[in-house]
Amino acid sequence: MPPARPGRRLLAAADALVNRLYGSSLNPLYQSGTIAVALLLVLLATGLWLVFFYRIGAPWASVGRITADPWIGRWMRGVHRYGSDAAVVATLVHATRIIVQRRTWGPRVLAWVSGLVLLGLLLVCGVTGFVLVWDTFGRALAVEGARILDALPILSEPVSRTFVGERPVPGTFFFLTLFIHIAVPLGMGAALWLHVSRLARPTVLPPKRLTWTVVALLVVAAMAAPLGMDPQGNAFALPP
pLDDT at residue number 1: 38
Q: Tell me the whole-structure pTM to 2 decimals.
A: 0.88
Could you tell me which of 235, 239, 231, 221 has the C-alpha nearest to residue 76?
A: 221
Confidence band for 2, pLDDT divided at 50, 70 and 90: very low
C-beta neighbour count of 150 within 10 angstroms: 15
pLDDT classification of 36: cutoffs 50, 70, 90 = very high
Q: What's the pLDDT tens digit per position in 98-156? A: 998 888 888 888 889 999 999 999 999 999 999 999 999 999 999 898 888 878 877 76
Query: Highest mean pLDDT range out of 102-106, 130-134, 158-162, 203-207?
Result: 130-134
pLDDT at 4 over 70: no
Q: Is the pLDDT of residue 225 over 70?
A: yes
Q: What is the mean pLDDT of the chain?
A: 88
Check if the beta carbon of residue 67 is closer than 8 Å to that of residue 229.
yes
pLDDT tier at 53 (50, 70, 90 boundaries)?
very high
Q: What is the pLDDT of residue 164?
A: 72
**Distance, C-alpha 117 to centroid of its chain:** 13
What value does the mean pLDDT take over residues 174-197?
A: 90
**Residues in contact with 62: Cβ distance below 8 Å, sequence separation at least 6, in sequence order:** 53, 54, 55
Q: What is the pLDDT of residue 107?
A: 80
Q: What per-residue confidence (pLDDT) applies to 134?
A: 94
Strand partners, 135: 232
**Interatomic CA distance for residues 140 and 138, integer angstroms:** 5
Q: Which of 8-17, 108-117, 210-219 has the lowest mean pLDDT?
A: 8-17
Task: Find all residues with CB under 8 Å of 87, minimum gap 6, and list them.
Answer: 36, 39, 40, 43, 122
Least confident of 142-151, 156-165, 196-205: 156-165
